[in-house]
Amino acid sequence: GKSLCYQMACLLQPCISFVVCPIISLIQDQEFNTREFGIDRVGRIESQMGTLDKTKVIDDFGRGKYFFVWVSPERFQMVNFRSQLSEIQARRHFGYAVIDEVHCLSEWGHDFRVSYLKLYGTIKNFCPEAQTLALTATASRNVLEDLLCELEITKANVQTSSSLDR
């Protein structure tokens, strides 16, 4: 359900988007599942791929071949990737910057994945027109309060389910 929220939003836009995802196996599963539903204009960039494959995906993404690509948060701390985003930004319109499993920003960002804490600022700096869509199914009250601060949003911008029934 949560993945469908961002996937449909991205597919319905006349632009390109990217999805930041914290776990390689989740990135791979999301891409596989999306392709299984017949949506093949998606890609991924993750550390288990070869350099040439990653370069091809980002080049194709910049040419508009993909509706969206999945990337890890650490990729946004790489100078080369930031340059590629800037080049794409000059030619294409970014619709959404999706942060999937956004609770990890709070739960992991302060301890061992510092790139998460810098993620929102980096996205805003290199993709300023992208609308941020941050999703999680597991945010405690403390995590939510931290996310409000880190993402510079108010509670009015937060949608929660009143039921745990999925």
Catalytically annotated residues: 2
- Return the residue matching tokens 């985003």: 85
Closest Cα partner for 44 from 34, 36, 121?
34
CA dihedral 33, 50, 16, 26 (to 10 degrees): 30
Return the amino acid letter for 58. I
Nearest-5° Cα angle at 76, 155 to 4: 55
For the chain, the C-alpha Rg in angstroms (whole number) is 15
